[in-house]
Amino acid sequence: MKVGLPQALLHYKYYHLWETFFNELGVETVLSPASNKQILNAGVKSAPSEICLPVKIFLGHVKALKDVDKIFVPRVVSVEKGAYTCPKILGLPDIVRGTEGLPPVLAPTIDFTKGKIHFAKAIYNLGAQFSSSPLKIFKAYQAGTKALKRHELKKQEDGLSKTGGLKIGIVSHPYNIYDSFISLDLLKKIKKEDVSIQTSESLDKKIIEDETSSLPKELFWTYEKEVVGTALHWLKTGKVDGIIYLLSFACGPDSLAQVLIEDFAQQYQDVPLMSLVIDEHSAEAGLLTRLEAFLDMIKRRKKIESNHRPDGLSANYARGSVQAA
């Protein structure tokens, strides 16, 4: 039995969990190749035109999974109490089922709003398709969560250990940040300069939770909470020298989060923020010019700042305390 895992969307969050889970049950997993032009084209062709870029890419990955018996597309409704995933992630199995010429879809429903028992049942039903032993399924899931924890901890430590050069925080969904084809190699382009990159993965989940619960209204979407909470934390604390907010065109939740984040950036002007919108028509030239200008701006600012203030305190230029100092 071979189960195909599309390397897109929530893959970048939960891959370690599912891979371990399947392998422990003796199921072979096949990963779709890294995103490329062919995958994008296949996705764009089979997706409705108004859908967001990440889902189009997802469909491309599903199409690239040949020679598998089943394709794993969980219906992730909610991963925490009181918040949901975005409507398109929620309906992903249906979108995939509506695409012709594909192997059957393996789509357990993950919904934490219905409690832990509901979740345990979903995992059991999924595992029962490959093993008759409840203990084995339980152990496989345990191994999976352990693998995921290890991965998350490592990401957090990696982020914290980065020092030196400019500190740039990238606020976005992991599927935008780590898919180098979609982000037009943003990470590589930034790393060429003397820059260390921070993401929301290096932040404690408690920090993000605290930031978003201070909003006048709770956000509906778990992954948008991460985006907004991280941006808010960095804007308030100045722990990074600049924030790049990477969002994909036609993403509903992002379009709301963008307004919120840019609003806060007006309030907390010490940390410059730049929004970059990507879509399937994105040209490299525009991205490069903006990125260069943004890093230039921060570098020049830092240079002057360090000349004026050897103590390393923020000189608070945007609000004009320069004259006062």
Partner 1 sequence: MKCYLGIDVGSVSTNLVIIDDNSKIISWIYRRTQGQPIKAVQAGISELKELARADIEIKGVGATGSARYLTGVIVGADIVKNEITAHATAATALYPMTRTIIEIGGQDSKIIFLHSSMVVDFAMNTVCAAGTGSFLDHQAARLGIPIEEFGAYALKSQNPAQIAGRCTVFAESDMIHKQQVGCLTEDIVYGLCQSLVRNYLNNLAKGKALEAPVIFQGGVAANLGIKRAFEDALQTEVVVPKYHHVMGAVGSAILAKETTEEGTKPTNFKGFNTSKQKFSTKSFNCSSCENNCEVVKIKQQDKLLACWGGRCGRFEA
Q: Is 318 in the site for partner 1 (CB under 8 A)?
A: yes
Q: Is 296 in the site for partner 1 (CB under 8 A)?
A: yes
| Shorter beta-carbon distance to partner 1: residue 95 or 277 | 277
Q: Is 213 in the site for partner 1 (CB under 8 A)?
A: no
81: which 2 tokens?
Answer: 């109490």
Interface stretch with partner 1, choices 65-73, 114-122, 215-223, 283-291 (CB under 8 A): 283-291
Beta carbons of 315 and 308 less than 8 angstroms apart: yes
Interface stretch with partner 1, choices 14-22, 200-208, 217-225, 316-324 (CB under 8 A): 316-324
Which of residues 300, 306, 313, 314 is near partner 1 by CB under 8 A? 300
Q: Is 314 in the site for partner 1 (CB under 8 A)?
A: no
CB of 281 to partner 1, least distance (A): 8
The number of angstroms, rounded, from the C-alpha of 266 to the middle of its chain's C-alpha atoms is 24
Q: Is 49 in the site for partner 1 (CB under 8 A)?
A: no
**What's the residue count for the chain?**
325
Starting from the edge strand earliest in sequence, which strands make up the sheet with 28-31, in order? Answer: 28-31, 2-5, 70-72, 105-106
Beta carbons of 176 and 248 less than 8 angstroms apart: yes
**CB-CB neighbours of 54 under 10 Å:** 24
Number of H helices, E strands in the chain: 13, 10
117: which 2 tokens?
Answer: 């028992």
Question: Closest Cα partner for 2 from 132, 104, 155, 143?
Answer: 104
| Shorter beta-carbon distance to partner 1: residue 38 or 125 | 38
Contacts for 186 with CB less than 8 Å, ≥ 6 apart: 170, 177, 180, 244, 246, 276, 287, 291
Interface stretch with partner 1, choices 37-45, 80-88, 160-168, 235-243 (CB under 8 A): 37-45
The number of angstroms, rounded, from the C-alpha of 177 to the middle of its chain's C-alpha atoms is 6
Q: Is 38 in the site for partner 1 (CB under 8 A)?
A: yes
Interface stretch with partner 1, choices 97-105, 117-125, 199-207, 261-269 (CB under 8 A): 261-269
The dihedrals phi and psi of 5, each to the nearest 5 degrees, come to: -115, 115
Q: Is 262 in the site for partner 1 (CB under 8 A)?
A: yes
Contacts for 226 with CB less than 8 Å, ≥ 6 apart: 173, 200, 208
Q: Is 286 in the site for partner 1 (CB under 8 A)?
A: yes
Q: Is 178 in the site for partner 1 (CB under 8 A)?
A: no
CB of 203 to partner 1, least distance (A): 25
| Shorter beta-carbon distance to partner 1: residue 145 or 289 | 289
CB of 285 to partner 1, least distance (A): 6
Q: How many residues bind partner 1 (CB under 8 A)?
A: 30
Residue reference for tokens 């020298």: 241
Which of residues 92, 110, 231, 277 is near partner 1 by CB under 8 A? 277
Interface positions, 182-201, toward partner 1 (CB under 8 A): 185
Distances (CA, A) of 102 to 28, 70, 76, 94: 18, 9, 20, 12
Interface stretch with partner 1, choices 10-18, 71-79, 109-117, 292-300 (CB under 8 A): 292-300
CB of 192 to partner 1, least distance (A): 11
152: which 2 tokens?
Answer: 């998350």
239 torsion bin: left (phi>0), alpha (psi -120 to 50), beta (else): alpha
Please report, as ranges, the residues that interact with partner 1 according to CB under 8 A: 33, 36-39, 181, 185, 262, 266, 269, 272, 277, 281, 285-286, 288-290, 292-294, 296-297, 300-301, 304, 317-318, 320, 322
